[in-house]
Structure 1
């Protein structure tokens, strides 16, 4: 069995590196003092998990995990009447799509490394856009991507 927490931590770190913005697990990310950070940021939700890879040779060493990343735009700090916008939300989502980016030279693997824990390899990644939301009252617009990671034990 593959533990979920190291996978979630590694995926969170990858999203932070790609977006250059904080990522919270199931909640708004917090700063060093424990206060909510202003948008833009990402909220990462662990979703489904399956330990059956649907192969005839299933040896119990594979896991498939799903995540949802909600990319949140918002008003700019210190600028009155500013609002989160579609451009900001889409920019964040564009950065999130880099999770599944392949090398331009055709070599195998993915452009951006994903550390999912010792003895575990993520051999396949999928992403699909799942829409977004807007809340004119809060001046927040979001874009949502759902990811599926295929993991296997290497040790």
Structure 2
């Protein structure tokens, strides 16, 4: 069985690197003083997990994990009447799509390394846009991408 926490740690780090913005797990990310950071940021939610790869030769070395990343925009702190906008939401989502980006030279694998723990490899990544939300009351607009990671023990 593959532990989920190292996968979540690695995926959180990858999203933070690709977006250049903080990532919170299941909630708004916090700054060094424990205060919520202003948007834009990402909220990462672990979703389903399957430990059976549905093959006849299943040897309990494979795991499929799903995550949902919510890319949050919002008003600019200190700027009255500012709002999160579609442009910012799409910019964040574009960075999130880089999770599945392939190398430009056509070589195998993915353009951006996903560290999922010792002795574990992520051999396939999928992403699909799941929509987004808007709340005119607090000027927040989000874009949502759901990811599926196919993992296998290598050691």
**Do they superpose with TM above 0.5?**
yes
| Deviation for aligned residue 1:133 | 0.2
Q: Structure 2 unaligned runs (5+)?
A: none
Runs of 4+ in 1 over 6 A off after TM superposition: none
Is 1:117 matched with 2:123?
no
**Take 1:13 and 1:114, find their aligned partners in 2: how far apart are those partners?**
8
| Deviation for aligned residue 1:80 | 1.0
Show the 5 A alignment for 1:1-155: 1-155=1-155
| Alignment size in residue pairs | 155
Instruction: Give the match's secondary structure for 2:13.
Output: helix
1:66-97 Cα distance to aligned partner (Å, 9 max, x none): 00000000011121110000110110000000
Q: Structure 1 unaligned runs (5+)?
A: none
With the length of structure 1 as denominator, give the TM-score of the two structures.
0.99
| Deviation for aligned residue 1:65 | 0.1
With the length of structure 2 as denominator, give the TM-score of the two structures.
0.99
The RMSD of aligned alpha carbons is 0.5
